[in-house]
A = this chain, B = another copy of it.
Amino acid sequence: MQTTELEQLIEQITDEIVQRFGVLPAASSACRCHTVAVTSCPDRVRFIIECGADRVGLHSTAPPVSREMAQYIDHTILKPEASLEDVSKLCREAMENQFAAVCVNPSYVRHAARMVCGTSVAVASVVGFPLGATLPDVKAYETRRVIGDGAREVDMVINVGALKSLDDDLLRRDLQAVVEACRDYEVLSKVIIETALLTDDEKVKACLLAKAAGADYVKTSTGFSSGGATPEDVALMRRVVGKEIGVKASGGIRDRATAQKMIEAGATRIGASASVKIVKEAKLD
């Protein structure tokens, strides 16, 4: 059987399942195209209507807690002393557990991209990390370089000093530099606002500017500052950005209970190093 024939057959079977049961098959249970619960995914809704449905059940603002934990997780190693072998291990664990992505420093992107090539695991990298205090065009250059090496997701750090100095022009240029470079290559952009250093007003402003710049996610923390994610910050960020873009909780998430709290507060992605422990705990429940 030819590959195209096989693909057509799979598509026919998929259509049949959808028409009979009104749901997308399990392989698509994670909505990768939007950062909402799969049951609220616009593509799913359109698809079901095209299949002949005259009523569609949707989740409202409730977080997608039923989605399997592993699919939320960016399996992360960013400590400077991480070796090539540490990164290889991270990639193997990510593939075994079907994590959403591995998140590595720029100099390891090429190696990670080779390792996870052909799997559902994306490679994420970091830009202007972890201080966010470099120049917009340096961040843009770094973004293009990690994308060139294989990153499909970019986690950039906002210029916190510019936020503290009320330099909105620099903040906008900083965000645009990275978000636009990501868009050029259809790569996801996540904006780390480093909540531990901000007042609530500053958190709100940072989220609004990130959303306005066209970021795909706002993210709580680098994991290198004085504090990490809290459910309160995640909930605040979710309220500010609405349902249109994602919220990633990261920093200090070391067990399933904490991860679950973040998801319940509105997180659609979790950054963690203890990811394997988290999913093992999730399976025991």
Q: With A159-B107, A161-B105 in contact, is A194–B134 under 8 Å at CB? A: no
The answer to whether B107 touches A197, judged by C-beta atoms less than 8 angstroms apart, is: no
**Complex Cα spacing A85 to B164, Å:** 10
Over the window 238-273 of chain A, the binary record of Cβ atoms lying under 8 Å from chain B Cβ atoms (1 yes, 0 no) is 000000000000000000000000000000000000
Q: A137 at interface (Cβ–Cβ under 8 A)?
A: yes
Q: A9 at interface (Cβ–Cβ under 8 A)?
A: no
The answer to whether B161 touches A106, judged by C-beta atoms less than 8 angstroms apart, is: no
Q: With A141-B141, A165-B85, A224-B224 in contact, is A107–B80 under 8 Å at CB? A: no
Q: A187 at interface (Cβ–Cβ under 8 A)?
A: no
Interface positions of A (Cβ within 8 A of B): 78, 80-85, 105-108, 129-135, 137-138, 141-142, 145-146, 149, 157, 159-162, 164-165, 167, 170, 194, 197, 224-225
Q: What are 26 A-B contacts with C-beta separation under 8 Å?
A: A78-B131, A80-B132, A80-B133, A80-B157, A81-B160, A81-B161, A81-B197, A82-B133, A83-B161, A83-B165, A84-B167, A105-B131, A105-B133, A105-B134, A106-B135, A107-B133, A107-B162, A108-B133, A129-B131, A130-B131, A135-B142, A135-B146, A135-B149, A137-B145, A138-B138, A138-B145
